[in-house]
Amino acid sequence: MRLIGLAVVLVVGLVLAPTAAEAQQAAKTPRIAFISTTSPGTSPSTDAFRQGLRDLGYVEGQNIAVEWRWGYGSTKRFPEFAAEAVRLKVDLIVAGNDAAGHAAQTATRTIPIVIPNMGDPVGSGFVTSLASPGGNITGLTVQNLDLVAKRLQLLKEATPNVSQVGLILDTNAGDYRQTAAEAETAARVLGIQLRRMEVSNPSELDGAFATIAGRRPSAVFVPGGTMVYANRTRLAEYALKRHLPMMCGSREVVEAGCLMGYAASLVDLFRRAATYVDRILKGAKPADLPVEQPTKFELVINLKTAKALGLTIPQSVLGRADQVIE
């Protein structure tokens, strides 16, 4: 009887063992949340992050689970998304922009947060310093503040007769106030008068352009912002409709129809963000991972838009372009 009992125990153990092992393996699968305004297929940067994960050996549904949360062009639901990520007990949150970063920071001070394109990491309160973040947030910075004067200078060189520029600020960007101050300083040096407008959601874009156009500017400057990025095609259409040359930030906005852009590559930043995710999932602490700064900035010019505006971009500017869209 004892032998029979032992045999039964061994058989039961063999039957249950694979199930227990499978459950243990499933429990080890890391789960992350990704919060952004744009979904894969509509955002090259988000697609680049997914590719970055694949390059590091992560396959969704196999060895990593991703909770994708999209704002569809708006940041309004970001606090809701961040709170949900905390309830789901994810291992890490990827906040696609400053607005998502602030929402995640409010929701948790313990779950690691990676932000691929911080505007002003220290000034926005995300980290103590670039070298030593000191909390649960790290990632990469686009250094927008450092580029404001350069962008206005390039706009002035491309359109030498410009005298008044409409400045459209996306208030979802954590550094928009500092951006405005930098722009005012640069404009005084260049002899440009700025006409400032602030927007926070897509429904305000048309009205902002109508107001700006009514002030009769020579051009428009849109430094950046997640809502602007998500609505970049509409933004370009508004500027073209009102016959306004527009200086923007990233390559993707210029590809959508903006006249010019000067910025770090968002695609590169988001691809690199996957490396931060990998290191944290393997045990690194956000507090110990320095915020990465870009080493290269791209000047992109849309000649198709220039032609539609009746502009001839000086060769001195074209010769410095990293990409010319024709």
Measure the CA–CA gap between 310 and 169, rounded to whole angstroms: 26
Burial class (CB in 10 A: 0-12, 13-18, 19+), 176: buried
Q: Which two tokens stand for residue 238?
A: 């508004």
Look at the alpha carbons of 214, 299, 230, 92 in this order and tell me if their dihedral is positive or negative.
negative
pLDDT digits 0-9 by tens, 117-144: 998 999 899 999 999 999 999 999 988 8
Q: What share of the chain is helix, strand, coil (3-state, %, to 5)?
A: 45, 20, 35
What is the identity of the amino acid at 175? D
How high does pLDDT run on average in the chain?
89
**In whole angstroms, what is the distance from residue 204 CA to residue 37 CA?**
16
CA gap 120, 152 in Å, rounded: 19
CB 34 within 8 A of CB 96: yes
pLDDT in tens, 76-99: 999 999 999 999 999 999 999 999
d(CA 38, CA 45): 9
**The predicted structure's pLDDT at residue 305:** 96
Record the tokens describing residue 50, joined without a space: 């997914």
How long, in residues, is the chain?
A: 326
E-strand ranges in the chain read 31-36, 65-70, 92-95, 113-118, 137-141, 164-170, 193-199, 219-221, 246-248, 260-263, 298-302, 323-325
C-alpha triplet 225, 241, 248: angle, nearest 5°: 25
Q: Is 89 left (phi over 0), alpha (psi -120 to 50) or beta?
A: left
Three-class secondary structure of residue 295 per DSSP: coil
Among 62-66, 147-151, 208-212, name the one with the lowest average pLDDT.
208-212
- What band does 10 get if pLDDT is binned at 50, 70 and 90? very low
What are the pLDDT digits (tens) for 257-288? 999 999 999 999 999 999 999 999 999 999 99
DSSP 204: G
Cα 109 from Cα 100, distance rounded (Å) = 14
Measured distance CA(78)–CA(37) in Å, rounded: 9
What are the structural domains, with CATH classification, of the chain? 9-142+266-288 (3.40.50.2300), 144-263+297-325 (3.40.50.2300)
Query: 303-316: per-residue pLDDT in tens?
Result: 999 999 999 999 99
Paired sense of beta strands 31-36 and 219-221, if any: unpaired
Query: What pLDDT score does 93 carry?
Result: 98
Tokens of 283: 């045990």
The pLDDT tens digits of the residues spanning 223-243 come to 988 888 888 999 999 999 999
Record the pTM. Answer: 0.85
Between 326 and 19, name the one with better pLDDT.
326
Question: Phi/psi at 53 (nearest 5 deg)?
Answer: -65, -45
Predicted pLDDT of residue 269: 95
How confident is residue 40, by pLDDT bands cut at 50, 70 and 90? low
Tokens 């700006």 locate to 212
